[in-house]
Structure 1
Amino acid sequence: MALIGVFDSGVGGLSILDEAMLRLPGHNYIYLADSLHAPYGEKTSAWIASRSMALCQHLAALGCDVIVVACNTATAQAIADIRSQLTDTPIIGVEPGIKPAAMQSFNGIVGVLATEATLNSDKFNALLATLPEHCRFIKQSGAGLVPLIEAGQADSAATLALLAEHLKPIQSAGADTLVLGCTHYPFLKNVIRQLLGDTITLVDTSEAVVKQLNRQIESLLRPSKQPTQDGSTTIGTVVFISSKDETTLLSMAKDLMTTDLAGHVVSAQRLGELA
């Protein structure tokens, strides 16, 4: 069994954790939410890089075999430095799925909903420059959405109204594909469907990230789902760590995730001072 660390600015990375636990249930997980400082998308690049490094170093010190930076903003601003420092630990990042979106779009018009920090990052724009010129990308900041999701209001009227404003330029451009460029945004799929219907293709990268995670684990360990002597499957542990409120984090995990946490040994704790 591997110990997998998943880090995000808040609850958004639960979308990655959920996919990982559904596909790779026989491992142990630590989910670290820096909710005290969410959202990262409104912070400076220097602050994001420094904080992300410190949190990943903390996960490495806890013994994580692999770390997933389940935050688009942190990936864009910090992952190169994190990999250069934590050379003994595989680091997996997330980035907006603009490449698969370009391949899936029929009319060549793709909306990208992401944080301002992600949209302005060198990493994102370098990736954008590699894609076919015939594909048009409508970039839109989702300012204000992350705090609503963090407050447990993903399906609220306030979220619906704000999301409608953000999606107007994408709708007006006639996009047939929408990239969810923040790990918080998959939790808005129901609201997006209310606004855009079923005709638009939604792209998030959870599945691709977990496939990469599985490849990294297989290179480190034997297959994770080891049967016990009675033929059952090993039950993994999940530790939820929050820099703000571990009880709220655990409650939101139960609400937002489709994984049945009752099938795992679950605990929650508050993040202490970082070294």
Structure 2
Amino acid sequence: MTDPRDRPLLFFDSGVGGLSVLAPARALIPTAPIVYVADSAGYPYGTRSEAEIAARVPALLGRLAERYDPRLIVIACNTASTIALAAVRAALDVGVVGTVPAIKPAAEASVSRVIGVLGTDATVRQPYVDDLAARFAADCTVLRHGSAALVELAEAKLRGEAADLAAYRVVLAGLFGQPGGERIDTIVNACTHFPLVVDELTAAAGQRLRFVDGGPGIGRRVAHLTAGQDWPDVAGEGVAVFTRLDARAEALAPALRGYGLGRIEGL
């Protein structure tokens, strides 16, 4: 019989972006068993249609819940969360934590009252983002820019591939080049991939900027929802699961080990 303490936390993303959510959660629950799932067969989500994501994510998470019996699922992807979170919660008999753009803390931090939201194309056009801006940043100018290139830059970084800062400057120009963009003092990293390259973004910006993301808050939420539960006495080897296990996935192995994911397998 399986020890109930071994039931894992399951983190889900289209790629490696969810590692920026996994890290703060593991810092708070260091011995939690971890299954990290990258939907590499569906990557990238940001350029897919809402209908594709709405159909794919609940079905895939249903398979994963059956296979791994997680105690909690974290959709560590802004695009999947803003489109499919409600459907996943309705379909599964397990707690599900989503990821949404950190517009509220950005508005609280901004002095200039001009905020940038940097996400995928699919995320930045969602009505959910309109609602967050209206609720928490009504007195701010909220500028948005979607970038598939920055997602790939983050993936490439974790594969050990170097990129010139010019590539990051091009991405940031999508925000700074908009009317009022020169007054941005706070940028929401509204894709979980983007905190993985925040050092590069900071260097490329060449000005004082504050970057905020939802990772730390999600980590606290996971800890709260699992408070009082039994965990293993020592941390075990986490597993990274890819829906397409290919050379690109295998190249991530060294970086994944740094996040406690010592084993890779395909779904």
Give the TM-score normalised by the residue count of structure 1. Answer: 0.85
Tell me which of 207, 220, 239 is aligned to 1:211. 220
1:81 aligns with 2:87: yes
| Contact 1:66 1:90 (8 Å CA) reproduced | yes
Identify if the C-alpha distance between structure 1 residues 195 and 101 changes in structure 2 by more than 3 Å, giving closer, same or farther. Answer: same
Quote how far apart the aligned CAs of 1:16 are.
1.2
| Contact 2:169 2:204 (8 Å CA) reproduced | no
Quote how far apart the aligned CAs of 1:142 are.
1.6
The whole-number CA distance in structure 2 between the counterparts of 1:24 and 1:249 is: 26
Alpha-carbon RMSD: 2.3
Deviations 1:13-62 (A, max 9, x none): 11112222222111111111012221101111111011111221122112
Superposed, 1:98-137 pairs within 5 Å as 98-137=103-142
The whole-number CA distance in structure 2 between the counterparts of 1:162 and 1:245 is: 31
1:269 aligns with 2:265: yes
Quote how far apart the aligned CAs of 1:218 are.
1.6
Deviations 1:114-156 (A, max 9, x none): 1121111122222222124221111111232213333347750
Tell me which of 64, 67, 87 is aligned to 2:70. 64
Identify if the C-alpha distance between structure 1 residues 198 and 164 changes in structure 2 by more than 3 Å, giving closer, same or farther. Answer: closer
Give the SS at the match of 1:78.
helix
The whole-number CA distance in structure 2 between the counterparts of 1:180 and 1:159 is: 17
**Structure 1 residue ranges without an equivalent (≥5):** 227-232
The whole-number CA distance in structure 2 between the counterparts of 1:32 and 1:166 is: 30
Quote how far apart the aligned CAs of 1:197 are.
4.0
The whole-number CA distance in structure 2 between the counterparts of 1:247 and 1:82 is: 30
The whole-number CA distance in structure 2 between the counterparts of 1:154 and 1:173 is: 31
| Contact 2:156 2:162 (8 Å CA) reproduced | no
Superposed, 1:243-258 pairs within 5 Å as 243-245=243-245, 248-249=248-249, 251-252=251-252, 254-255=254-255
Q: Which residue of 2 aligns with 1:230?
A: none
Give the TM-score normalised by the residue count of structure 2. Answer: 0.87
Give the SS at the match of 2:152.
helix
Amino acid at match of 2:242: S
Identity among equivalent positions (%) equals 31
The whole-number CA distance in structure 1 between the counterparts of 2:193 and 2:225 is: 24
Tell me which of 164, 168, 171 is aligned to 2:176. 168
1:177 aligns with 2:182: no
Matched residues, number? 257
| Contact 1:187 1:256 (8 Å CA) reproduced | no
1:199 aligns with 2:199: no
| Contact 1:9 1:40 (8 Å CA) reproduced | yes
Deviations 1:180-210 (A, max 9, x none): 0000001121111112246211101110001
Q: Which residue of 2 aligns with 1:156?
A: 163
The whole-number CA distance in structure 2 between the counterparts of 1:30 and 1:154 is: 25
